[in-house]
Every structure is written in C-alpha cells, then in structure tokens.
Chains A and B, each alone.
Chain A
Amino acid sequence: MLESYLVRGLKAGLVAGVALGIFVAVLANPMIAAAEGLAGDHGGHHASDGSGGHHAGEGGHGHGGHESASGVLGVVSAPLISVAGGVFWGLLLGVVTFGLAFYFLEPAIPGTGAIKSAIAAAGGFVTVSGAPWLVLPPQPPGVEQALSTDARLWLYAGMMLAGLSACLLAGYAYTRLRDRGRGHALAGAAVPFCLLVGLAFVLPANPTTQSLPAAFVAAFRAQVLFGQAIVWTLLAGTHAWLSAEGDGTTTTGAVGSVPSDPRPSSD
C-alpha cells in the first residue's frame, strides 16, 4: 500500500519536475542571465558575508560570468544542470509530499478525492516555499542581502519547520472543530497561519540593496511564484488524476459489469 503511494508520488513528481525543468530552461535561465547583465556594472552577485571569497579564489569563476560558467562535469553548462535541478526538485516534492506525507496523513486531511490532493499541495507549498518567503522573498541574482548566507539558510530551514507545524496544527484544529460547524472549523484552522505571519514579523529583517530596477525584481518574484504555483498545481492535478484512475480500475475490475445506465437522467 505504501509502495503504491510512493509510486504515485513519484509519477506526479516526474510530471511536475519536467514542467519545472522546461520552466527553468525557457523562462528562468534567460531571466537570470538578464539579471546578471543588469547587475553586471556593480560586480554582479557578490555575497556580503565572506563566501564571496570562494568565488574570487576560483579564478574568474565569479557570478558575473554565469553564462559561460561550466557545471560540475565541466562539460555540461550550468544552466543545463539547473534544468536537471528543476526536474529533481519536482521529483523530491512529489515523493515526499504525495508519496510519504500523503500516505500517512491522508485520513486526517479534510475533504475527498481531488480536494485532498489540493489541500496536500497547498500545505506543501506553504511548508517549502510560502512560509520561508515571508521572511526571505525570492531574490534575483545581484541583490545584496544584509543577513549572512548561513543565517539565511537557518532562517529558511526554520521557517519550513514553522510552516509545516502551522499546516499540521491547522489540520488538527479543523478536524477537532468540524462538529461545531464549518465556520468554527475554518476559523480554528486560520489561527496557526496568523501565528505564522506574526512570527515572520518578529524574526530579524533582511534589508537588501540592489542596482536592479524595482520593476525587474517584482517581475522576477512573480515569475518564481508562477513557477512554483505550476509545480504544485501539476503535482495535485496529476496525483488526483492517478488516484481517481487507480480507484476506477479497481472498482470496475471488482464489479465486473458496467452499471446499466452510465448517464443518469439528472436534468
């Protein structure tokens, strides 16, 4: 049983991953190259925390020249590896969210069928991207950030944990309060998310300085949000479709005969 859930998650992840790979290739790579071009006058994408030393020490392998930078193998270009990275990102999200988490949490997720898949996807998005973005919104290359890289990695990981906790608490509150009516249940489920937003305000701010036009940064963020929205929508859609298909085949297989009238007269 667990195995079939994992396989379904993997399939959904493959669909979303390939889409994200295409997204990276067609939209994100040119956009990031443009950002590096725009920021080029100011020395490009220097880290403000000393990790820039790594890049400086690599002899011209700095962030100014990403278009020509080669990847791990030295043969495949870095933008191509990023496309593969997009595919793996989708696969990872599919297996973890719709393979593992969905298997264990399915009985506790409100709704039925496709609604369950959509709620799982929403929870996944809040955990992986939404909650961390409250503190650390997506940045194009070339933006100098006040917090050090290490601090930001910890913040990102911490906000993922906070986002996951908020989703689980919301689910718990919803299930607990459902007997008292949908309004109560939804209000109860909203409380953890309010706390999450409150937490984001309490955490240290991360002022940025940039030479990029504000409109470009806004467009970049919209693009990133769009990309991740596509990923989660495809994950939920594919997963719901695979689940429904799986149910359908087992039902018809068990019944053995098609219901007498597939089109009930409900008009």
Chain B
Amino acid sequence: MATANTVHGRIESARPALTTPRVALGLALLAIVGFTLLFVQEPLVHDSLHNARHAAGITCH
C-alpha cells in the first residue's frame, strides 16, 4: 500500500477489483442516469424532469 499515494498507485491498487463486467456495469449505470438527467429530449421523460433540469441549470429546450 506504500505505492498507493500517487494517482498511478491508486489505479494499480484498484486494478484487482476492476474486473471487466464490474467496470462495464458501473459505466453503464452511470451513463444511463447521467444521460437521462442531462441529455434525453424524449418528450415524456423530458417533461417529467423538466423542473429538475431548470432547477439544476442544465440546458433545456
């Protein structure tokens, strides 16, 4: 754990935990939530989150 106090060390020490399925699953989840909140313009979804988007100052049509 002595090497863990650099950015490189953090990446190295996280590597055993970062199996491909876990990384894929994590990224997919984050992408879904992030994309839904930030970019989806599908009218139903968009209208439902309309106030939240304005409240967070995210761009809106």
Interface residues of B (CB under 8 A from A): 4-7, 9-11, 13-14, 17-18, 30, 33-34, 37-39, 41, 43-45, 47-61
Contact = CB atoms under 8 A, between A and B. Distances in A.
Given A1-B14, A47-B61, A92-B33, A153 B39 contact: yes
A3 B17 contact: yes
Per CB-CB distance, the 10 closest pairs between chain A and chain B, nearest first, are A85-B52, A138-B57, A28-B55, A82-B51, A71-B48, A82-B52, A47-B61, A81-B48, A149-B61, A224-B57
Interface of A: 1-3, 20, 23-24, 27-29, 32, 45, 47, 49, 51-52, 54-55, 58, 61, 63, 66, 69, 71-72, 78-79, 81-86, 88-89, 91-92, 95-96, 103-108, 129, 132-133, 136-141, 149, 152-153, 155-157, 221, 223-225, 227-228
B7 A105 contact: yes
B37 A32 contact: no
A108 B56 contact: no
A27 B54 CA distance: 12
Q: Chain B contact residues: over half helix, strand or loop, or mixed? A: helix
Q: Chain A contact residues: over half helix, strand or loop, or mixed? A: helix
B35 to A, nearest CB: 11
A152 B59 CA distance: 7
Nearest to B57: A138
A157 B59 CA distance: 10
Nearest to A106: B10
Given A103-B10, A227-B56, A2 B17 contact: yes
A249 B11 CA distance: 26
B54 A138 contact: yes
B50 to A, nearest CB: 6
Nearest to B29: A95
A110 B44 CA distance: 44
A81 B10 contact: no
